[in-house]
Each structure stands twice: as structure tokens, then as C-alpha cells.
Structure 1
Amino acid sequence: MPALAIAFFVTALLYASVGFGGGSTYTALLALAQVDYRILPLLALTCNIVVVAGSSLRFARAGITPWRGALVLTGIAAPAAFLGGLTPISEKAFLGILGVSLVLTALTLLVPVQETPKKHPTRLAGVMPLLAASFGYLAGLVGIGGGIFLAPFLHLARWDSARAIAATASLFILVNSLFGLAGQLLKGGAGRLGTAVDLGLPLIVAVAIGGQIGSLLALKYLPQRWIRLGTAALTAWVGGRLLLNL
């Protein structure tokens, strides 16, 4: 458990420093530790909520969150996340989807981030609601937030500035995690949440500390490009390990 707590701490620090929650990596680390796959989404989504709640609040207080657009995307994704949480899935399918999601996550972290978008969004902006719904469903199904998939498309669509996109992704992850968690609880019973928390309380504490350090300090001392590359490397390694173990 100490080694797992350290891994959760590092994951939360890295992901929070680039505006994400880390749910997919938490889930994969638990799977590699051979924890019952049925409680993995519960613990991963809880950790997600702990990490991004503070970030979402800070973005809101700073006036960075583009509420109109962020609420549209989040409002479309949230019901899909709830349905994803309700969807039964076998262990092999769960781990396969999770492993592929992690590899894709690593690739999304390599998408260049442009701080100031061009004046006009691209045509890709028109399909953002459809993508949001898809990422929301995936979020509830395997215990991730989905924001790490949404953000690169928002950048490619020149949807808004980098800071506004980070704020949108943070809110997206928070709400999807809450709705996905609700769906998971209805599917498996509230008793599983108690089991997950009893098992993972040290991990939740680790991500709370790591998330705060990541969001408050990491960007001040390390170039964001290095942090994104480090996060991508960690995510690709964990996803690759998971797929090789199938």
C-alpha cells in the first residue's frame, strides 16, 4: 500500500499540474495491484473528485471558466456518464478499454497547446457536443473524467484560450466523475463505496496532497512541456503494462 500511495501522489501531482484528475491512471494502478475490478471505478472517480474540485473552484474564483460553453458541454456529458456508470461490463472488456484509453491519453498529452486561439473556431467546434457525450459515457464506464480526451479537441477547434480550456476540462471531469459515481453506486450498491473508501483512504489522502501541490506549485517551477511529457510517459507505461497483462 505505501508504494501504491506514492504512485497515486505522483499521478495526482502530474495530472493536476496540467489541469486533469488522473482517474484513468488510478484505475490502471489499482488493476495492476489486482484489486477487484468492480470497485476500481468507485475509488478512481472519488480520487478524481478530490483532485479537480479544488482546481475547478480556483478557476471559477479567478473568473477563467467560460461558463456558457463549459456548462453546455458538461450538461450533455453528465447524463451519458451516469449511463456509463450503470452499464454492466466484463473484467476483460473493462481492462481492455481502460488500457486503450490510457495509451490514447498519452497521445493526447502530446497535442501542442496554443495559449491564444485564432479569432475564429474551426468546424470541429460544431461536433464538440457529440464528442462530449461520448467522453462522458466512457468516463462513467471505466472510472475516468473524460476531460483529458475533450481538451485536445477543444485546442484543435480553437474553442477558447488554453486557460479557459483547462478550466472547462476541470469542470467536465468533476461533474462527469460525480454522475459516473452515482451510476456505479446504483449498479453495484452503495455498500461497494464503503469498501472502496476503506481500502483506499490512504490513496485518497495521497491524491488530495498531490493534487494541491500540483495545481499550486508545479507550474511555477517546471516548464509545462516537461510536465506534460512526464505525464504522457507515466500514462503510456501504465496503459502498456495493463494491455500486456490481458
Structure 2
Amino acid sequence: MFWLVAAFLLTALLYASVGFGGGSTYSALLALGGVDYRILPLLSLSCNIVVVAGATVRFARAKITPWRDAALLIAVAAPAAFLGGLTPIDREPFLLLLGASLVLTGGTLLLPRKQKAEDGERGRFARYVPFVAVPLGYLAGLVGIGGGIFLAPVLHLVRWHGARAIAATASLFILVNSLAGLGGQLLKGGEGRFAAAFEMGLPLLVAVAIGGQIGSLLAVRFLPLNWIRWLTAALTLWVGGRLLIGV
């Protein structure tokens, strides 16, 4: 259990520094630890909420979050995340879908861009992002993560906002979607799975709370913009590859 707690703390630190909750990696670590895949979403989503709640507050206090645009994305994605959480899925499709999605989204971050992240000019396709947020929200609820790791590469590709604003939006997106997805997962799994998740979840929640606070502080004050993008890509590809290898 100690290695799992330490791994969760480090994961929360790294993911919070790029505006994510780390749900995908939590699921991978738990799967490697032999935990029943049916309670993975409950644990991962709960850890997401703990991590990104603090990160969202830090981004808001730093006046980085683009509230009007972010609210639209969340309004259309959260109901889809709830429906995704209600949808039954077997273990192999669960891991395969999650791993493939993460490899694809990580790869998009490695594509060259023609403009700097913070030059203030939005891409021509940025207005269509809400249409993409709906299926991404459903996919996030289905596999039991917040969905920011799916959304952020899309926002970078269309130059929706600057890198830090995207990190802040991804954090808020994860928070709301995790709450919605957790609601769906609880309705699907019932009290038995919740009790099993709660029994082993407390040390993990404490670990991610500490790591998340450190990581979000790094994101707001210290990390260069290019680091945010490349670290996001590296984390996403690594996690996706590990999941696919294990399927």
C-alpha cells in the first residue's frame, strides 16, 4: 500500500502542474495493483475531485480561468459525463478504450503549431469546441476520469486560449465532470462498490491532496508555458502506452 500512496502523491503533483487531476494514471496504478476494475472509477474520480478542487481555486485566484468560455464547455459536457458513468462496460474494453484515447490525445500535443500559446489570437475553429465537449464528456464518464486530458489537446490544437488558461479550464472541466461521472458510477454500482472504494481510498485521497496543492502552485508561479504543453504530452503518452501494454 505504501508504494501506491507514494505513486498517487507523485501523480497528483505532476498532473496538477498541467491542470489535470490524474484520474487516468490512478486507474492504471490501481489496475497494476490488482484492484477490482469496477471500483477504479470511484477511486479515480474521488481523487480527481480532491486534486482539481484545489487547483481550480488557485487558478481562479490568479485570475487565469476564462470563466465565460469555460462555463459553456462544462454545461454541455457534464450531463454527458453523467450518462457515461451510468453506462456498463467490461474490463478489457474499459482499459483498451482508455489507453487508446490517451495515446491519441498525447500525440496531438506533439503536432507543430504556427503560433505562440499566449499571443492572444484565437484559432478559426475555437468556436466549435462545445460540440466536441459533449462526446468527450461522455467518454470521460464511461472510463471514469474527468476528461480534461481529452479536452486540453483539442483546445491547444484550435488555439482556444493560451496555455495557462487551457490548464485552468481543464482543471475546472475535470472537477465538474468528475462530480457528474461519480454520480453516474454510484447509481450504476450501488452501495457495495462504494463501501469497497471507501475502505481503501482514504490514504490515497490524503496523498493526492498534498501532491495536488504542490503541483498547482508550480503551474501558477513557476512552470514555463512550453513545459506545460510538453509535460502534458509526455504524461499522456506514457499512461496510455502502459494501459495498452497491459490489456
TM-score w.r.t. the length of structure 1 is 0.90
| Match in the other structure for 1:71 | 71
Question: Within 5 Å, which residues of 2 pair with 1:73-92?
Answer: 73-92=73-92
In structure 2, relative to structure 1, the CA distance for the partners of 1:156 and 1:230 (3 Å cut) is: closer
Note closer, same or farther for the CA distance 1:106–1:9 as it changes in structure 2 (3 Å cut): farther
Larger mean CA deviation between 202-211 and 78-87 belongs to 202-211
Deviation at 1:198, TM superposition (A): 1.3
- Identity across aligned pairs (percent)? 69
Query: 2:64 is paired with a residue of what secondary structure?
Result: coil
Q: State how 1:173-184 maps to structure 2 within 5 Å.
A: 173-184=174-185
The alpha-carbon deviation at position 131 of structure 1 amounts to 1.0
Q: 1:54 maps to what in 2?
A: 54
* Counterpart position of 1:243: 244
For 2:34 and 2:233, locate their aligned partners in 1 and report how far apart those are by CA, in whole Å.
23
Aligned length: 245
2:167 aligns to what?
166
Query: What corresponds to 1:124 in structure 2?
Result: 125
Give the superposition deviation at 1:59.
2.0
Q: Cα deviations across residues 175-229 of structure 1 (Å, max 9, x unaligned)? A: 0000000000000113422321211221111111111111113665665645654
In 2, the alpha carbon distance for the partners of 1:133 and 1:215 equals 26
- The answer on 1:134 being equivalent to 2:130 is no
Q: Please tell me whether the aligned partners of residues 118 and 158 of structure 1 are also in contact (alpha carbons under 8 angstroms).
A: no
Deviates more, 1:129-138 or 1:72-81: 129-138
Provide the secondary structure at the position in 2 that maps to 1:144: coil
1:28-53 alpha-carbon deviations (Å, 9 max, x no partner)? 11111121011000000001101100
Letter in 1 for 2:149: I
Map 1:30-45 onto structure 2 (within 5 A). 30-45=30-45
Give TM-score scaled by structure 2 length: 0.89
> CA 1:243/1:179 → structure 2, altered by over 3 Å: closer, same or farther?
same
Map of 1:201 onto structure 2:
202
